[in-house]
Amino acid sequence: MRHSARTICVLIASSCLASCATGPSPDYDAPPSVQYKDCWDGGSVPITSQCPPAMVEDVSVDDDPITQCKDESAISGSEFACVPVLFGTNRELLISEEELNTAAAGETYGHIFGVRPDPACEPSQMLSDSGPTISELKDRETVCHTGLAVITIPDAKKRLEDNILELNPYTTAGKRPQPRHRQKQFTIWDIGKLNEQEFRDATQEMLDAFDPGKNHAIVYVHGFNVPFEGALYRTAQIKYDMEFQGPVFSYSWPSNAKGQHYLLDQDDADLSIDSLVRFLHLVQKSVNEDTQVHLIVHSLGTRITTQALAIMAADNAGEKTRPFTNVVFAGADLDRSLFSEWLEQTGSLTPRVTIYANSDDKALKCSSFIRKFFSKNSIDPKARVGLNHKTLGRAIFNDSKIRDHTTIDMSALASKSLFSFICTNRNHATYVQEPEAFHDLSCVLNGYSPESKERRRFLSGPHEDEFSGRKYWRLIKGDGSSASGADLDLRDAIRRGLGDGANNLCKPW
């Protein structure tokens, strides 16, 4: 008779006690979590290699990776969550597809996709004289590399000890992460490639697992200086901390993941536009017709996404449906003129655009500094969308150019430090690292207007920008000192409740 996965793991843990090399063996009546943890920590190799072959044969062979991941979390007592993320990328695969798809669950570590574009995905390889046109790319069967990853995330409350929603990735190359690592760091539990039909089937399974009224999906596009794994971690973190029950999609373009390669990343972003268009079309085909798809874009990802949306808008001209319920730009690293030019064409794609900006975003200050350094005599300041400019004010666009857009100033949430120099990531991810911003983001995705009582708990305004005279909204910090009455109790409730179903975020899911 085949045992359940949980029973098998307990049996393996008990069998391994005799072979643990260090430390006293716990009593056989000890809780499974204690037995499993001690046995695992006693060796540097996967636990299955320490067990009799007869015991290994039945280990969760019929269970999917998510179930196996949850079993290890429960039995090891490590308190980490297991989050599925569907992904697309035009990065170069560093290992063979056979290695990627045959690796056992829990055995994935090291870099999987690199920092260079896959040559087969580049436009020059696809748009030859006899090849497809831009508008025909949406019908391509493949989107470079697509697949499904299972990400382990430390318990949210443990992450509060340092920074509320900061990522702490596992970066020890060549060493398999153990339960004690997953308790404190983000890791990849399992990953594999999917063809288009498998990708669409996986999406439907995730949508079918929840009530029809909870028919939402999120697509995340990362920014500069982000490796492939980092994009998966951020996407999984948004899903977990927001308790989002629908499918989440991560598109990873080939950022070099090094600060000094900033200018090179712009070229790689531009090379990724066509691939992102195809991925977004695949997401459209994978979800239901009435699924509310929310697009969240960070930093330099704005450069690739606005151009991709402009291409999609041309294809969508005349259509009555808008494929994206919300498009959110956070810390957008793009010249305001280019942003306006590209995004004004996308009215057929989304009814709502939200811009999160900051006055002290160090990464965007660095971006502005680089441009000023190489164009000292230029009168064009190349102001970034996500950075409040000292003479131009906030990025608030004429409604005739970009309809139904809202600009949110997050400056009051910025962290201060005497040793915070330019060209760091400080205050660049405020939108997902501070409770007030994360609360507002969840409200945006659920269609609440800035005037709603749900958002007004941390949102004040509308205010008039002192330079342009246009209207914007301001997030206020719930530290008990704000004269505008920020909800301190709610801020603490969000911090305490992350990941346990009681975080007081705006959510129908």
DSSP string, 102-139: HSPTT---S-SEEEEEPGGGSHHHH--TTS--GGGGGG
pLDDT, averaged across the chain: 75
Residue 497: pLDDT band (50, 70, 90) is low
Q: Is the pLDDT of residue 371 over 60?
A: yes
Confidence of residue 346 (pLDDT cuts 50, 70, 90): confident
What phi, psi does 391 have (nearest 5°)? -120, -20
Would you place residue 148 in the very low, low, confident or very high pLDDT band (cuts 50, 70, 90)? very high
pLDDT of residue 108: 65
Residue owning tokens 């810390």 = 331
Asked which of 19-23, 234-238, 418-422, 493-497 is least confident by mean pLDDT, the reply is 19-23
212 exposure class (CB count in 10 Å sphere: 0-12, 13-18, 19+): exposed
Residue of higher predicted confidence among 202 and 2: 202
Q: How many residues does the chain have?
A: 509
Which of 251, 349, 271, 339 lies closest to 309 in space, CA to CA? Answer: 349
pLDDT tens digit string along 411-458?
999 887 655 556 677 888 889 888 889 889 999 999 999 999 889 888
pLDDT at 88: 97
pLDDT in tens, 152-185: 988 766 665 544 456 677 766 567 788 778 888 8
pLDDT digits 0-9 by tens, 459-480: 999 999 988 888 999 998 875 4
Mean pLDDT value of segment 84-92: 95
pLDDT for 29: 32
Mean pLDDT, range 319-326, rounded to an integer = 83
CB-based contact 266:131 (threshold 8 Å): no
Mean pLDDT of 398-403: 67
pLDDT of residue 234: 94
Least confident of 243-257, 349-363, 372-386: 372-386
Strand partners, 154: 80
Per-residue pLDDT at 1 exceeds 50: no
User: Residue 337 above 50 pLDDT?
Assistant: yes
Q: What confidence tens digit (pLDDT) does each residue in 221-274 have? A: 999 889 999 999 999 999 988 889 899 999 999 988 666 667 777 888 888 998
Print burial letters for 217-252: b (CB count within 10 Å at least 16), e (below 16): bbbbbbbbbbbbbbbbbbbbbbbbbbbbbbbbbbbb
Side chain identity, residue 72: E
CA distance 202 to 198: 6
For the chain, helix, strand, coil in percent to 5 are 40, 15, 45
Q: Does residue 21 or residue 216 have the better pLDDT?
A: 216
Other beta carbons within 10 Å of 385: 25
* Whether the Cβ atoms of residue 55 and residue 12 lie closer than 8 Å to each other: yes
Helix crossing, 273-286 with 262-271: angle to 10°?
50
Confidence at residue 291, expressed as pLDDT on a 0 to 100 scale: 94
Unique residue bearing structure tokens 């540097």: 44
- With a pLDDT cut of 90, the percent of the chain lying above it is 30
Closest CA to 168 of 239, 236, 114, 261: 236
